[in-house]
Amino acid sequence: MLIDMQNAQIPILGFVAASGTGKTTLLIQIIPILKQCGLRIGLIKHSHHDFDIDRPGKDSFRLREAGASPVMLVSPYRRAMITELTSEHEPGLDEQLKQFDQSVLDLILVEGFKSEKFPKIELHRPSLAQPLLYPDDPDIIAIAVDAALETPSYLTQLELNRPETVAAFIQTHIASKL
């Protein structure tokens, strides 16, 4: 398995699947389990859609609309940086890793970026009749399914509806990387 993530200073693990399969739902379930085990988790989510994290009428929105980029919002509780991307192509995961202070994290979970080369867990629900990704992606190390599926022996099969087993697999996986 070739990993192209030169800017990954800590383990990264992706979650890939067709839209509507439950990637975000599973991540919401496993992150608290991993945090209870003492892991500090960062997350990068790829979106194919345009989005705003600030709202029209708010100062940050107006400042960004005026041409400031990046715009950083800071409060005693959180920080957000909004940077306008001018590139015509999809942003790469490795470039996004540069933006993370990885020194305060143990693991970065990634939702999406399925065409990039880094370890991933595929989510698959046979009832959705979507094609499997693992046959064409050698970086998929496990598949989380909600119904039994015949898979090659090199691919760990996990129960999609048992987030504790997915979290246990992740802990074992990252322990082997440290």
Give the confidence band of 85 by pLDDT, cuts at 50, 70, 90: confident
Res 14: pLDDT: 96
Q: Express each pLDDT in 123-173 by its tens digit.
A: 999 999 999 999 999 999 999 999 989 999 999 999 999 999 999 999 998
Q: What is the pTM of this model?
A: 0.85
- CA 23/CA 15 separation, integer angstroms: 6
66 shares its domain with 9: no
Cβ neighbours of 138 (radius 10 Å): 11
Q: Express each pLDDT in 4-45 by its tens digit.
A: 678 888 899 999 999 999 999 999 999 999 999 999 999 988
Residue 70: is the preceding peptide bond cis (ω within 30°)?
yes
Domain range for 32: 1-46+101-178
Residue 124 is which amino acid?
H
Say if residue 98 is exposed, middle or buried (CB neighbours under 10 Å; 0-12, 13-18, 19+). exposed
28 shares its domain with 67: no
Q: What residues are paired with 44 via a beta bridge? A: 110
Q: 158 lies in a domain?
A: yes
